[in-house]
Amino acid sequence: MPNSYFSKDKVIHSPDFTPFTVSWKSPSNIALVKYWGKHGRQLPTNPSISFTLSEAHTTIEMSCELKDDSENQPSLNFFFEGEKKPNFEKRIQSFLNSVSDIFPFLRQLQLNIHSSNSFPHSSGIASSASSMSALALALCDAEKNLFGEDERSSFFQKVSYVSRLASGSACRSVYPVAALWGFSRELNSSSDEYAVPVLDHLHPVFHNFKDTILVLSDQAKAVSSSAGHSLMEVHPFAKTRFELANKNLAQLLPALKKGDLETMGKIVENEALMLHALMLTSNPNYILFEPATIAVIKKVRAFRADTGIPVWFTLDAGPNVHLLYPSEEALKVDSFIEDQLLPHCIPGKSIFDSCGQGPEKLNS
Ligand code: PMV
């Protein structure tokens, strides 16, 4: 119920205020059907679905004190892995300003945020999903601390809504195992405004599905996601892309329900390559994979053909490869990865991850 998220009444009555701290851990996610293209206030042009990860996560600690200046915006000190990061701080400050219609009490607060990632900095692993969902968790938890539980909305739905405003894909990180974001006729509860949980629609084989993230390059992104999304506004293939994303989702959902790995794998690989095909054919265009990306994909396909083991790749908008496979096959796939794929990777940066249980509140 997004309308109920906005409230002018949520202001702090100073004599009642006691400083407090909230802490959360929130995971990254990997999209199976990709979100690529947006409109309005961060609304998606097609529905997407992702696995929630476990090992790749952000931890956030946010302390809240009453501030003494009369400036009408939240006051922020932001530290990433113990260091002041002016660029991150600027981005978060402008996000906080933009959500003060949802959290008016922020204007009265001095926030000190300490954030860190479980994965190495500059590893080419997208961190916005974990970091922005962690921030949204901290904000919604602070609101809950100050004003109590809002019975009109579920906590995680609101967290997902707020995460979306910070970074679209972040809204899918807040549920265990898998989440769907964007309205789809295939799922009545779906919405463009927030992600919904889809654990009940999954065959148990996916509950602990593996996602090994092979870090092939640690270069900064050639194009920001925002710039990438905006290329879709004038992309010659946009209409077809949005139709195909809906079609892929419609075929993927029953495959996820049945545990049909073959259909799932075909759709997931098609989505990854389509995302890159869109970047290759946009104006300006971008080549976001590296020779090692293609080498790894070819080896994965050959391994699958030779052994019959179901292991599939997907890609984000970058060169790194995610390998998806059932945990029952982990022994064989992990030794294939170690022997044949890790030599293509940046040493020490790859992550053997799997579907996880979603965010976790930490003791402050
Ligand atoms: O959340 P953003 O704006 O960083 O967009 C991310 C888009 C992809 O990662 C490429 C695909 C997805 O659905 O996660």
* Domain boundary assignment for the chain: 3-200, 208-354
| Sign, Cα dihedral of 38, 93, 1, 250 | positive
pLDDT band at 105 (very low <50, low <70, confident <90, very high): very high
For residue 129, which atom of ligand 1 is closest to its CA?
1
By three-state DSSP, how is residue 324 classified?
strand
12-21, 66-75, 92-101, 258-267: segment of lowest average pLDDT:
66-75
Q: Among 149-153, 173-177, 347-351, name the most confident range.
A: 173-177
pLDDT value at 219 more than 90: no
For residue 30, which atom of ligand 1 is closest to its CA?
14
pLDDT value at 197 more than 70: yes
> How many angstroms separate the Cα of 35 from the Cα of each of 55, 82, 193, 280?
22, 32, 13, 17
What value does the mean pLDDT of the chain take?
A: 94
Mean pLDDT, to the nearest integer, of 156-173? 97
What per-residue confidence (pLDDT) applies to 144? Answer: 95
Mean pLDDT, to the nearest integer, of 28-39? 98
* CA-closest candidate to residue 274, choices 34, 31, 37, 29: 34
- Distance (angstroms) between ligand 1 centre and the Cα of 127 equals 10
- Distance (angstroms) between ligand 1 centre and the Cα of 238 equals 16
pLDDT band at 14 (very low <50, low <70, confident <90, very high): confident
Q: What digits encode the pLDDT tens for the residues 55-104?
A: 999 999 999 999 887 778 889 999 999 999 999 999 999 999 999 999 99
Q: Please, is 105 exposed, middle or buried when counting C-beta atoms within 10 Å of its C-beta (0-12, 13-18, 19+)?
A: buried
- Distance (angstroms) between ligand 1 centre and the Cα of 61 equals 25
- Distance (angstroms) between ligand 1 centre and the Cα of 168 equals 7
pLDDT value at 363 more than 90: no
pLDDT value at 7 more than 80: no
pTM, full prediction:
0.96
Tell me the HSE value of 240 on the side-chain side, using a 13 A CA sphere: 8
38-42, 147-151, 246-250, 335-339: segment of lowest average pLDDT:
147-151
Output the six-digit token pair for 5: 């998220």
Among 316, 321, 322, residue to substitute to test ligand 1 (most atoms within 8 Å of Cβ): 316
Task: Please state the CATH superfamily assignment of the domain spanning residues 208-354 in this structure.
Answer: GHMP kinase, C-terminal domain (3.30.70.890)
Same fold, 3-200 and 208-354: no
CB neighbours of residue 41 within 10 Å: 9
For residue 317, which atom of ligand 1 is closest to its CA?
10
pLDDT band at 151 (very low <50, low <70, confident <90, very high): low
Question: What's at 62, amino acid-wise?
Answer: M
Contact 123, 156 (CB under 8 A): no
Total count of residues recorded for the chain: 364
- Distance (angstroms) between ligand 1 centre and the Cα of 65 equals 34
Contact 349, 338 (CB under 8 A): no
Q: Using CA atoms, how far apart are residues 353 and 336, in angstroms rounded to an integer?
A: 16
For residue 132, which atom of ligand 1 is closest to its CA?
1
- Distance (angstroms) between ligand 1 centre and the Cα of 1 equals 24
What per-residue confidence (pLDDT) applies to 123? Answer: 65
- Distance (angstroms) between ligand 1 centre and the Cα of 359 equals 19
For residue 275, which atom of ligand 1 is closest to its CA?
10
Mean pLDDT, to the nearest integer, of 204-230? 93
> How many angstroms separate the Cα of 136 from the Cα of each of 96, 101, 129, 153, 162?
10, 14, 11, 15, 6
pLDDT value at 126 more than 80: no
Cβ neighbours for 342, distance < 8 A, ≥ 6 positions apart: 214, 350
pLDDT band at 124 (very low <50, low <70, confident <90, very high): low
- The verdict on domain 3-200 having CATH code 3.30.230.10 is yes
Helix 86-98 × helix 128-147 angle, to 10° = 50
Cβ neighbours for 361, distance < 8 A, ≥ 6 positions apart: 22, 23, 24, 137, 141
pLDDT value at 254 more than 70: yes
Among 169, 171, 180, residue to substitute to test ligand 1 (most atoms within 8 Å of Cβ): 169
* CA-closest candidate to residue 259, choices 205, 298, 326, 319: 205
- Distance (angstroms) between ligand 1 centre and the Cα of 147 equals 33
> How many angstroms separate the Cα of 39 from the Cα of each of 44, 89, 164, 182, 276?
6, 25, 12, 12, 20
Instruction: Give the DSSP H or E segment for 84.
Output: strand 83-84
Which residues, judged by CB distance below 6 Å to any ligand atom, belong to the binding site of ligand 1? 31, 34-36, 48, 126, 128, 167-169, 225, 316-317
Q: For residue 75, what are the β-bridge partners? A: 110
What per-residue confidence (pLDDT) applies to 283? Answer: 97
pLDDT value at 120 more than 90: no
Output the six-digit token pair for 231: 């290329």
Q: Among 5-14, 34-43, 216-225, name the most confident range.
A: 34-43
Q: Using CA atoms, how far apart are residues 335 and 353, in angstroms rounded to an integer?
A: 15
